[in-house]
Amino acid sequence: MATSRRRARRASEETATRLMALSGAVIVAVYAVGYSHTEAAARRAATPPPAAVAAQTSGPAGQASQTSGVANSSVSSATPATAGSQAGASKTGAASGKYRSGTYSAQGWGPHGPVTVAVVVRGGRIVSANVTVCGTTYPCNYLSPLVSEVVQNQGPPTDYVSGATASSEAYYEAVTQALAKA
Amino acid sequence: MRQTRVFMDTAVSCEVVGDVPESDAGAAAERAFGWFAEVESRCTRFAPDSELRRLSVRPGEAVACSPLLCSAVAFALEVAQASGGAFDPTVGAPMEARGFTRNYRTGTQAPSGVVADARACWRDVTVDARAGTITLARPLLLDLGAVAKGLAIDLALAELAAFPGAAVNAGGDIAVRGVNRDGGAWRIGIRHPRQRDALWTRVQVQAGAVCTSGDYERRAPAGGGHILDPRAGAPAGGVASCTVIAPTAILADALGTAATVLGPERGISWLDAQGVDGLILTPALASFTTTGFARWEQCP
């Protein structure tokens, strides 16, 4: 009995080793071959699908501006591809602390649409990070706890979120892009 | 620098960290996105001219296939065998029957027209790596959804290896290497399966992949999640979300799919046996973790 358990465990360990080794070998082998075309396909990916509707409406900072009824199950990539360059800033003070004082605006993009934030830095510290434009398919007031969290943590609490995320992804990206300018 | 594009019906972002010229980072990101285009064009079942679809209309023949498709299918078959069929890349036809037929690029329905043998399973697929062929013993439709995205993530990240830090995020499946913007390990939140925009926990990873699938994403038109129990022909139940941390995204994604089908207790035991770490949350929010999962978790 003990022998069969040991055998089963050894077989299981061998399987584990094989799968892990195989997954690494697959990457190395396919990468070595390289890819042939894809430039056209990559450009095509930058074009929003016809069904995509970039819902974007203005709303007061930190509040929801719902675009109910807008079908936005597809996402456009044109905006996020240039999100970094869209980050704007108006600096009002000298550098102090981790960030330079000023108001920094940037847009992030999640599966449900874009979110624009304005991050205000004073004395090197983030004092607010409100949503200024909510373009998601549902209200951005879901993001209110995240706004407090960003101020408390002095930045997004994570680099990424695993799992199909809602607008938290867009919000964190926007804050990250804004702080990159600070 | 972070750039985002759309591939595989999801937002894909590539990020590089370090004091490098923006042009170098941008060129590397383009090459990384190129891998997504390559993997998608070969492995999608939603385009009639994909390599996978062309293979699917020639059952009984040894069809010459690219190294990429051969490798992806061979890996999927290994996971199928290791999981006793809980993971099965031949679920394409049952997935179509449940309404997963929409081509996201065109927004139109794009069923393959393949009339699959109801008895078909992973044992009906043979890869001859030396000859570079794949043979389908019965009419069937492959679905590489749980393998292709992970493969593309890993290949894209390999393209960014020259930088001090890099991350690739495809709809919440993430692979990282090196350092984050603050020079530390990458901090990755794991989504709460029942509270939009809330995190269940956070992990820190220096090199590896974190993939999560949940019943909250990609619902079938007739109801039910996007992960099918191939043995029952019905949506896998009992798991709200499953997260796997593994050295590669292809491994994390595929093992997570199998563990979801196996259910919370068996799934976690099986992940443990595979030498990876994972977290399974049930619809009632009971938490099951592998023995090593806690070492990844970040202090609040």
Tell me the per-residue pLDDT of B43-53, one tens digit each, with 9 for 90 and over.
998 888 899 99
ipTM for this prediction: 0.88
Minimum distance, in Å, between the CA of residue A4 and any CA atom of chain B: 16
Three-state SS for A36-89 is: CCCHHHHHHHCCCCCCCCCCCEECCCCCCCCCCCCCCCCCCCHHHHCHHHHCEE
Kindly indicate the confidence band of residue B230, based on its pLDDT and cuts at 50, 70 and 90.
Answer: confident
Mark yes or no for CB contact A161/B191 under 8 Å. yes
Q: Which of A24-33, A57-66, A91-100 has the lowest mean pLDDT?
A: A57-66
Task: Please report the pLDDT score of residue B249 as a whole number.
Answer: 97
Is B253 in a helix, a strand, or coil?
helix
Task: Say what the pTM is.
Answer: 0.81
Average pLDDT, rounded, for chain B = 90
Task: Please report the pLDDT score of residue A167 as a whole number.
Answer: 66
Minimum distance, in Å, between the CA of residue B294 and any CA atom of chain A: 16
A contacts of B9 (beta carbons < 8 Å): 74
Q: In this model, does residue A80 exceed pLDDT 60?
A: no
Task: Please report the pLDDT score of residue A29 as a whole number.
Answer: 92
Minimum distance, in Å, between the CA of residue B60 and any CA atom of chain A: 26
Query: Pick from A76, A79, A81: which is nearest to A116 by CA?
Result: A79
Is B143 in a helix, a strand, or coil?
coil
Kindly indicate the confidence band of residue A3, based on its pLDDT and cuts at 50, 70 and 90.
Answer: low
Mark yes or no for CB contact B4/A143 under 8 Å. no
Task: Please report the pLDDT score of residue A51 as a whole number.
Answer: 34
Closest CB to B75 among A26, A37, A80: A26
Closest CB to A27 among B40, B158, B218: B158
Residue of B nearest to A31 (CA): B155
Q: In this model, does residue B76 exceed pLDDT 90?
A: yes
Task: Please report the pLDDT score of residue A141 as a whole number.
Answer: 81
Q: In this model, does residue B135 exceed pLDDT 70?
A: yes
- Name the burial class of residue B90, with classes exposed (0-12), middle (13-18) and buried (19+) by CB atoms within 10 angstroms of its CB: buried
Model confidence over B99-133: pLDDT tens digits?
Answer: 777 776 677 777 888 888 889 999 999 999 999 99
Please check whether residue A112 is in contact with residue A167, taking contact to mean a CB–CB distance below 8 angstroms: yes
